[in-house]
Amino acid sequence: MNDSGQSDRLDEKQRRNRRDRLERVRRWAEYVRDEPPEDWGPQQNAVVDAQLESAREADLSADHLERIRGFGEEAPEPDTTRDASRESDDTTSPAEGT
């Protein structure tokens, strides 16, 4: 059984998700650049506060946290050669984006 079609669909979904995330980052950067901090500051604080609260509510044990940290230290470095070629396809320079 050949699952290359499934792999191709997954690759396309990941490319689409990356483009969508980059577009959201660009829009937020424009908003922050164009609007006063009084407008976007409380929004950013709400996001950060929600993330911190979510982390607190996860209620992980100290042992579990150490296992997670240990895994991160032992994990091999990702192969970025493939991602680098994708990045060049998915990004534009600031001059192109305006």
pLDDT per residue of the chain (98 residues) written in tens, 0 to 9: 556 788 899 999 999 999 999 999 999 999 999 999 999 999 999 998 998 888 888 877 778 778 877 776 776 666 666 555 444 455 544 444 44
Q: Is 49 inside any structural domain?
A: yes
Q: Is 63 inside any structural domain?
A: yes
pLDDT of residue 62: 79
pLDDT of residue 57: 82
pLDDT of residue 15: 95
**What is the extent of the structural domain holding 50?**
4-73+82-89
For residue 62 the two structure tokens come to: 């100290």
State the total domains in the chain: 1
Q: Is 94 inside any structural domain?
A: no
pLDDT of residue 93: 46
Q: The pTM is what? A: 0.48
Count of alpha carbons within 13 Å of 84, Cβ hemisphere only?
4
pLDDT of residue 29: 95
Q: Is 97 inside any structural domain?
A: no
- CA angle centred on 16, ends 94 and 10, rounded to 5°: 145
Measured distance CA(95)–CA(98) in Å, rounded: 6
